[in-house]
Amino acid sequence: MTILGAGVMGSAFAVPAVDNGHTVHLVGTHLDDDWVDSVAETGWHPKLRCHLPDGIKAFRNDQLAEALGDDTDLVCLGVNSAGIEWGADRLCEVLQRNHPVIMITKGLRAHATGFENFPTLVARKLDAAGLDASRVAAVAGPCIAGELAARRESGVVFTHQDQGYLDWLRQLLANDSYYFVRTSTDVDGVEACAAWKNFYALAIGVPSGYLDVRAPAENGAAMHNPAANLFAQAISEMRLLTTFMGGSIENVLAMPGTGDLYVTCQGGRNSRLGRRLGAGKLYRDIMAGPMHGETVEGAELALAVGPALERLCGEGRLPAERLALARAVCHAIAQNAPLDLPWSHFHPPPA
């Protein structure tokens, strides 16, 4: 198996693959030479802060063709969302034959009538390059990279329209000790949840920032109430957005939706950005300062789909009054404005 744009999740994804007896080639992007060299020389992954098991070989980006070789049976795409077009184009340049593909990268792109998920985007590019676009699957959480690398018990969902292909992937990668794979043919639903959860985890991190700047409560009260309020609003909005994209509510209420949102809220870049926004900082100042050089998937999604979301609300294709949280976050990110959460507009009664 070859993983392009391995990063932390791609590198962690390699662990159960190796434990299942496969050889894995990790290929970094042009920005990843430091950790690639570290893994190649010592096995130590500085971003995961652990040694990767034997059977994982690291390659620089210009060695992608060598890493693919003649015996690769699966290609995994794990670039961050900002690099999805680059990653897909890179595969199209180098692939010499048709390979099955599974995607770790999560996100959406806007188009005239709505939003396009990343498996569809990659399949479209493969098809344009004359390659087989029929076997582009994806994996969704809940799964934190560092815990997977440490072999913590993790449940994930593989998604593709063909159940037979999903069964083959599950047999290839799942195990009965810590990597538990479920499958879903609801690609639209799984991928909508996988993308939107990053966006909403950012919002749920905001109350932690309130706690940083407000005077302490006499009784030491925390901010669990407002965070729970936002969590519930996020699930409500994810249901609306997922069904708009043709997906099933079932996945919103299962691992790709509530499960992945919960684990993403426990920490990481989305939560840290949300916390700083809650403390009154502006998005661009945060990204130029304490989070310089980091890719925050929730913010990338807000920038990618925010204008389309407003347009769809303005056209009446989406109900603006039921997407108050999404619209507030998109406005703060895109306009570099203070994040003003419209608490009184959350949880409107049924229409």
Domain residue spans in the chain? 2-185, 191-345
Closest CA relative to residue 226, chosen from 351, 339, 318: 339
Task: Supply the pLDDT for residue 339.
Answer: 96
Reported pTM: 0.94
Model pLDDT for residues 16-68, shown as the tens digit of each residue: 999 999 999 999 998 899 999 999 999 999 999 999 999 999 999 999 999 99
For residue 248, the tally of other CB atoms under 10 A from its CB is 19
For residue 62, the tally of other CB atoms under 10 A from its CB is 10
Average pLDDT rounded to a whole number, residues 3-14? 87
Average pLDDT rounded to a whole number, residues 153-169? 98
Q: Kindly tell me if the per-residue pLDDT of 331 is higher than 90.
A: yes
Task: Supply the pLDDT for residue 6.
Answer: 66
The band of 143, judged by pLDDT with boundaries at 50, 70 and 90, is very high
Closest CA relative to residue 17, chosen from 178, 224, 193: 178
Binding site residue list: 5-10, 106, 145, 269-270
Active site residues: 197
Binding site residue list for NAD(+): 5-10, 145, 269
Q: Kindly tell me if the per-residue pLDDT of 122 is higher than 80.
A: yes
Q: Kindly tell me if the per-residue pLDDT of 88 is higher than 80.
A: yes
Q: Is 166 exposed, middle or buried (CB count within 10 Å of its CB: 0-12, 13-18, 19+)?
A: buried
User: How, if at all, do strands 108-111 and 114-117 pair?
Assistant: antiparallel
Distance CA 6, CA 29 (A): 8
Model pLDDT for residues 304-321, shown as the tens digit of each residue: 999 999 999 999 999 999
Residue 255 half-sphere exposure toward CB, CA atoms < 13 A: 18
Q: What is the CATH number of domain 2-185?
A: 3.40.50.720
Q: Say whether domain 191-345 belongs to CATH 1.10.1040.10.
A: yes
Model pLDDT for residues 215-266, shown as the tens digit of each residue: 999 999 999 999 999 999 999 999 999 999 999 999 999 999 999 999 999 9
Binding site residue list for substrate: 106, 269-270
Average pLDDT rounded to a whole number, residues 207-211? 97
As a whole number, the mean pLDDT across the chain is 95
For residue 286, the tally of other CB atoms under 10 A from its CB is 21
